[in-house]
Amino acid sequence: MSVDEVLLANLAFYAAFAERDMEAMQQLWAAHAEVACIHPGWPLLEGRQAVLASWERILANPESPTVRCVDASARLVGEMMAWVTCREAVPGGQMIATNLFVREEGHWRIVHHQAGPTPGQPSPDELREEWN
């Protein structure tokens, strides 16, 4: 188990999103663990059926924006759980996202995705000023 494997699973998630590939999206979400999702501006969705139905609507909608994963960083929690934080480049701006993964049947599977707007990536100097 490595950070690289988690980052590859995360890339597969964004590839399924970009390609509007519902079959790939279904395979990426955990089948046995509980799942949840919070899309920007949506309420909390819980359960595989509700989460996958939301992705079906998003991927089938020709108005859905193109999303590209930027600056992904992964963390492992033991051998069975990991999370990725990243920025999502969208037309006209960016979002910030967290994707949680669990090991299921030898593969990293998503159990939670949450994305929301962010004004940008502050510089280290801006962060220091904000906290002082």
Which tens digits make up the pLDDT trace of 12-64?
Answer: 999 999 999 999 999 999 999 999 999 999 999 999 999 999 999 999 999 99
Enter the DSSP assignment of 6.
H
Residue 68 corresponds to which tokens in the numbers above? 């590209």
Nearest to 73 by CA among 39, 98, 90, 54: 98
Q: Domains in the chain and their CATH numbers?
A: 3-131 (3.10.450.50)
Measured between alpha carbons, how far is 63 from 66 in angstroms, rounded to an integer?
9
Q: What is the pTM of this model?
A: 0.88
* Residue closest to 93 by CA, chosen among 121, 113, 74: 121
